[in-house]
Amino acid sequence: MSVQERKERERADRERLIVTTARELAEQQGWDAVTTRRLAERIEYSQPVLYSHFRGKREIIGAVALQGATEMAVAVRAATAAAKSPRARAYALARAYLDFATRNPAVYDAIFQLDGGLPYAREDTPEPLKDAFAALFETLGEVAGDGVEPGLFTEVFWASLHGVATLTRSGRLPPEHTEQRLKLLVDRLPVS
């Protein structure tokens, strides 16, 4: 291995450590606890080393969002793969989405609530974000119904799931009715 290859590998390892540590700290104590000073202390590197990877917290949030979007796409696809009907796939997608949001609240916030400096719904949207939407579209596009544009339907269904996830987490919707909400949403689909 050349010196250059070793340096590149070490740089990639440090970057993964920064993102992993930020994510862990955010999940434990919230995003307000994630500061460059605390991250530098936890990873045992100086703040200038951290800044050589990320210009600040915003870019770190963006890196966590990209990692989380990839994980969410994998979770949704895994959940829908075993379902036998379009309606069952839509329910599996909804359940997987809400489970991801519940298990990873800080990551979910990085993807959908916080400013990570990432463009959404544009040509220059990063691939992990496009793929996360594609994972939703693959299932929801098939249940949109006649005369309904599948992409718009996917956006509306996703917005509904996002609303359930955020309103439940904030205590504005009682969690004991989540399954009823999902059933209500999926049972109204124009497919069987």
Q: Which two tokens stand for residue 22?
A: 């930020």
pLDDT tens per residue, range 101-154: 999 999 999 999 999 999 999 999 999 999 999 999 999 999 999 999 999 999
What is the per-residue pLDDT for 190? 86
Backbone angles phi, psi at 121, to 5 degrees: 55, 40
pLDDT tens per residue, range 14-62: 999 999 999 999 999 999 999 999 999 999 999 999 999 999 999 999 9
The structure's pTM equals 0.94
Q: Is the pLDDT at 158 greater than 90, yes or no?
A: yes
Question: Average pLDDT for residues 91-108, to the nearest whole number?
Answer: 98
What is the per-residue pLDDT for 191? 78
Q: Is the pLDDT at 3 greater than 90, yes or no?
A: no
Among the listed residues 99, 100, 77, 98, the one whose alpha carbon sits nearest the alpha carbon of residue 89: 77
Helix ranges, the chain (H):
3-29, 36-43, 47-51, 57-81, 86-103, 105-112, 127-140, 150-169, 178-187
What is the per-residue pLDDT for 192? 60
Spatial contact of 114 and 105, defined as CB atoms under 8 Å apart: no
Q: Is the pLDDT at 83 greater than 90, yes or no?
A: yes
Among the listed residues 105, 115, 107, the one whose alpha carbon sits nearest the alpha carbon of residue 169: 105
Q: Is the pLDDT at 11 greater than 90, yes or no?
A: yes
Among the listed residues 48, 23, 40, the one whose alpha carbon sits nearest the alpha carbon of residue 110: 23
Q: Which two tokens stand for residue 177?
A: 């009715």
Least confident of 2-11, 23-32, 68-77, 160-169: 2-11
